[in-house]
Amino acid sequence: MSDFQDNESAPQENRPFIRETVVNETSGPPLWKKILTTALLAVLFGVIAGAVFRFTQTRIFPPETTTAEPVSFPQETTAPPDETSVPTESDPSAPLSPEDAEWRNAVQSMIDDHDLQIKDYQRMAILLNSLRSEAQWSLVTVTATNQYQSIFKGGHQYETQSFGVIIAITEQEVLILTPFSATTQLSDSSTLQIGFANLEVTDAYIKARDGVADLMVMAVSRAKVSAQTQERIKAIRLGNSYVCYAGQPVIAMGAPVGGIIKSCNNGILTYIESGYPATDAALSLLHTNMVGDGNSSGFLINLDGSLIGWIEPEHTSGGTLTAVGISDLRAYIESISNGSQGCLLGIEGITLSNEMKEALGAQADGIYISRCTAGSPAQRAGLQAGDILIQVAGDPVRNLDELRTILLSFTAEQTISVKVLRKGRASYQELSYDVNIERR
């Protein structure tokens, strides 16, 4: 008989390996039911968390019962002492009048008799710091708390900060101007808080936003601000940027140094660039000798303490701080301060001069369209570069200021009629378009 015995024929109790019992896989709840139950519980938890955030936080939009008084920012008609225009240089070889010669000799004598010392620089620095300290009571810190829900983690939040500047104090509200781009991720469940110079913090809400000009106005109810703070804070005055000049001393505030809130710098304006093309407008850019980068933001004030420029990162990427003249933004600021955004056409252009009319062979006044912004109402309607815009919503348009006034008069998206002149083979032809304008 062979010593080898087949395992299959061996008795079960003599097998050397461990026996395993296979459990029927369908004996418990199906796997898909477990997954569905877990998902439903996660969604339910997220809804509950969202509701808690929603009803326990202050809304960022104004209460419906608020009746705000109209806000306006009149254009300064006269220049402050430091904003006088630079006189035209005369021919140095021309003889001076006796009075001019007397003044020149007196000034030269004062310069010769006084040797500049360190204390003169210190005195100037103290005066600049005094002006900056006074303007600090118009400066605020804006903190946005954003909430969002995750299916697995539930509700959580994160904070972003920016600067703001008080531009008006009414009987009911304190109005604050801040960059729109700093708060683009706000939702209806987000909260806003304002920190004043004395560190008092209070809730705020949005009046209106202008995404094209990168501006937003927030408001704080005066009833929520202590009497001590109300005595100290003040609204900064919007100056006249049309009379700015190269060499004018300015102070940068807000977040001009790398985006650091409450940082500051001082320098001079080096160049005024007029007619810079922008959407539905032409802007004046105030170039300075102060270092800046794409994170820089804030505003410029002159030695009179007036706000004359709004620093935008878009124009500061060249290495030095550059601001948009506040006079070009005044109408937009006034509009959103009163809770209105105005509407967008979406063109860039230049007001026709007599020389341009002659060169183009055009007879009518209007705006020469150099570009239609991609995806804008103007482009979608069929307007083209090279067209001359002559009429909007039945009103003649002779320059960009008139176009801005017309577009700001609309408070909701709607269809308007637009007329342009388009160059044909022999002459310009008048064309009409229906344009669905959008809110800015």
311: Cα separation from own chain's centroid: 9
pLDDT tens for 62-119 read: 544 444 567 777 766 544 434 333 333 344 455 667 777 777 777 777 667 777 677 8
Backbone angles phi, psi at 22, to 5 degrees: -85, 120
Calpha distance 425→19 (Å, rounded):
96
**Residue of 150 and 229 predicted with greater confidence:** 229
Which amino acid is located at 318 in the chain? G
Instruction: Please determine, for residue 52, whether its predicted confidence score (pLDDT) is greater than 80.
Output: no
pLDDT tens for 223-238 read: 999 999 999 999 999 9
Whole-number percent of the chain with pLDDT over 70: 74
Give the mean model confidence (pLDDT) for residues 349-367. 89
> Beta strands of 292-361 (E only): which ranges?
297-301, 307-311, 320-325, 343-344, 347-351
Residue with tokens 């003649």: 396
Domains of the chain, each with CATH number or no CATH: 137-232 (2.40.10.10), 241-337 (2.40.10.10), 343-439 (2.30.42.10)
Is residue 313 within 8 Å of residue 324, measured between CB atoms?
no
**Residue of 112 and 220 predicted with greater confidence:** 220
Token couple for 66: 């608020």
Is residue 244 within 8 Å of residue 308, measured between CB atoms?
yes
Which amino acid is located at 266 in the chain? N
Token couple for 62: 């104004």
Backbone angles phi, psi at 320, to 5 degrees: -125, 150
Burial class (CB in 10 A: 0-12, 13-18, 19+), 31: exposed
With bands split at pLDDT 50, 70 and 90, how would you rate the model's confidence at 424? confident
Calpha distance 42→36 (Å, rounded):
10
pLDDT at 153: 60
Is residue 194 within 8 Å of residue 204, measured between CB atoms?
yes
Q: Which of 16-25, 229-238, 373-382, 412-421 has the lowest mean pLDDT?
A: 16-25
pLDDT at 102: 75
206: Cα separation from own chain's centroid: 13
pLDDT at 24: 46
Is residue 215 within 8 Å of residue 179, measured between CB atoms?
yes
Instruction: Please determine, for residue 47, whether its predicted confidence score (pLDDT) is greater than 70.
Output: no
Mean pLDDT of the chain: 80
pLDDT at 183: 66
pLDDT tens for 154-201 read: 667 778 889 999 999 999 999 999 998 776 666 666 788 999 999 999
Calpha distance 281→402 (Å, rounded):
10
pLDDT at 305: 92
Q: How far apart are the first and last CA of the chain?
A: 101
pLDDT at 44: 60
Whole-number percent of the chain with pLDDT over 90: 43
Report the SS3 class of residue 221.
strand
pLDDT tens for 291-346 read: 988 888 999 999 999 999 999 887 776 788 999 999 999 999 999 999 888 899 99
pLDDT at 168: 94
